[in-house]
């Protein structure tokens, strides 16, 4: 249940986001972020707030561990929408890599979504988001965040 303990602390973030996901575009937008993460419930919960200073937006993530299923549920909220997503990303870590799946809506249509967390030591981590519009047969990575500890 302590999978996200590595994330507690302050981070600088390099974001790369695909300008037009699921369109065949290869145009990426790169922008900075700053994140502060905390752990709760003895490691069974994790919370972080991230600011995107050049975008004028921010977001927060709540992660909750279910000891019965040994899986995490990840919820996202954004200053853009002012709401907490009600459909969590669900998954688990194996070693230093965590994979989480869920449902998203992109341009009004449902798509599968995948998060991949990779721990690259005590002071670095990577998060990736990918969409699939063919029920998971193929995936397009559309957002990456490279974290370096402050």
Tell me the per-residue pLDDT of 19-36, one tens digit each, with 9 for 90 and over. 999 999 999 999 999 999
Tell me the whole-structure pTM to 2 decimals: 0.93
Query: Is 86's pLDDT higher than 90?
Result: no
Please state the rounded mean pLDDT for residues 133-144.
Answer: 96
Q: pLDDT of 54-84, one tens digit each?
A: 999 999 999 999 999 999 999 999 999 999 9
Task: Tell me the CA distances in angstroms from 87 to 36, 57, 72, 73, 145, one per residue in order.
Answer: 23, 21, 13, 9, 21
Query: What is the reported pLDDT for 28?
Result: 97
Q: pLDDT of 91-133, one tens digit each?
A: 999 999 999 999 998 999 999 999 999 999 999 999 999 999 9
Query: Is 88's pLDDT higher than 90?
Result: yes
Query: What is the reported pLDDT for 118?
Result: 98
Domains defined along the chain, listed by start: 5-18+31-149 (2.40.128.20)
CA–CA separation, 47 and 64 (whole Å)? 9
User: In this structure, how many other beta carbons lie within 10 angstroms of the beta carbon of residue 63?
Assistant: 24
């Amino acid at each position: 249940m302590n999978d996200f303990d590595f994330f507690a602390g302050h981070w600088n973030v390099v974001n790369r986001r695909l300008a037009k996901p699921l369109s065949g575009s290869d145009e990426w937008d790169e922008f900075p972020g700053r994140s502060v993460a905390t752990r709760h419930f003895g490691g069974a919960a994790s919370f972080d707030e991230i600011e995107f200073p050049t975008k004028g937006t921010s977001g927060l993530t709540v992660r909750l561990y279910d000891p019965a299923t040994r899986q995490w549920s990840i919820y996202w909220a954004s200053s853009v929408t002012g709401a907490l997503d009600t459909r969590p990303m669900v998954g688990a870590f194996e070693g230093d890599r965590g994979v989480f799946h869920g449902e998203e809506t992109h341009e009004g249509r449902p798509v599968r979504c995948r998060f991949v967390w990779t721990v690259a030591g005590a002071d670095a981590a990577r998060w990736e988001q990918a969409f699939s519009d063919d029920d998971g047969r193929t995936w397009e990575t559309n957002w990456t965040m490279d974290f370096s500890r402050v």
